[in-house]
Amino acid sequence: MAGDRRVFRHYGLTLLRGRGIESTDQTNTEPVAVVNEEFVRENFPGEEVLGARIRVGASFGYGPDYWRVVGVVRDIRRSMSGSTTAEVYPPHTQYGPGFIQVHVRARPEVGSLVPAIRAVVHALDPNLVLRGFETVVEAKRRDTANTRFFLSLVTMFAGVAIVLAGVGLYGVVAFLVSQRTREIGIRMALGARRASVTKMVLQQGLRPTLVGVILGVLVASFGGRVMEDLLFGVEPTDPLVLASVSLLVLLVATAATLIPARRVTHIDPTVALRAE
């Protein structure tokens, strides 16, 4: 990626050591380049990279073969869903001709800058061809389209799983309660309060759910590593995410258990005693 000081400022590249690209780096001076941290980790582990001469493998038929490393900048992400890669930043004046990406920063209220950009470029060189206009928001959407589609499917299936789990738990608890209707009627006839009976049914219904939530958190802690490349700004084992999902499952389980529990406690004890 060729550039100059304005490119570094535009992208927020932090210079860690050495210097950046200067206006004095011209075609008649020694070819220089700035590299990022990933480049140093891959090619100069434990060595001093400043002052080293590097050879860029990709050749387009122009530009020098070797570059003198004069600075190191912090890593940036080329993709919202990808990891950092080794980067080399030579000056445009020494790199030679080629395709150029122009980034324009403006205030939101300015509106579309495409007509103005076309007019400026046409005034500089009418033979230049401009293509591929897109905003940063559009670029982010394009870059994350596959990830968002995949995560949408995961969210949909997760929602279906929650619904099925709630329906299944409701069915199991309702069946168990119906099997114990006579026992519950005897308890209530002997003076058991509705609150205590409801509590008993809730405990029996939520106990296996709690065990399942604990096992699910353990599995998610290990399985989250598989989706690590799809996450940005969220750790695979984010405590807040795990706690929120666990709470949601417990709330669904509580609702699915509470409905049959409250229904059976409102049955007349004499009717419950005659239940088979």
Angle between helix 181-189 and helix 194-223 axes, rounded to 10 deg: 140
* Cβ atoms < 10 Å from Cβ of 133: 13
H or E stretch covering 73: strand 66-73
Task: Write out pLDDT tens, residues 170-199.
Answer: 787 777 777 777 777 777 777 777 788 778
Question: What pLDDT does residue 274 have?
Answer: 58
Question: What pLDDT does residue 69 have?
Answer: 92
The answer to whether the CB of 255 falls within 8 A of the CB of 163 is no
3-state secondary structure of 85: coil
Question: What pLDDT does residue 163 have?
Answer: 84
| Short-list 12, 4, 20, 145, CA closest to 75 | 12
Q: pTM (2 decimals)?
A: 0.52
In this structure, which amino acid lies at residue 249? Answer: V
Question: What pLDDT does residue 236 have?
Answer: 65
In this structure, which amino acid lies at residue 274? Answer: R
Structural tokens at position 177: 């309660």
Q: How far apart are CA 205 and CA 197, in angstroms?
A: 12
3-state secondary structure of 53: strand
Question: What pLDDT does residue 233 have?
Answer: 58
How far does CA 174 lie from the centroid of its chain? Answer: 39
The answer to whether the CB of 31 falls within 8 A of the CB of 119 is no
Question: What pLDDT does residue 177 have?
Answer: 73
Walk along the chain (276 residues) and give the pLDDT tens digit of each residue.
Answer: 545 556 666 667 788 888 888 888 888 888 888 999 989 999 999 888 998 988 876 655 566 778 899 999 888 776 655 567 888 888 877 776 666 777 777 776 666 777 888 888 888 888 877 777 777 777 778 877 887 888 889 889 988 888 887 788 778 777 777 777 777 777 777 777 778 877 887 887 788 888 888 888 888 777 666 666 656 556 667 788 788 888 888 888 888 778 877 777 776 666 655 555
Sequence-distant (≥ 6) Cβ neighbours of residue 229 within 8 angstroms: 81, 82, 83
How far does CA 191 lie from the centroid of its chain? Answer: 55
DSSP 8-state class, residue 13: P
Query: Residue written as tokens 């590249």?
Result: 13
In this structure, which amino acid lies at residue 1? Answer: M
Query: Residue written as tokens 């209530």?
Result: 188
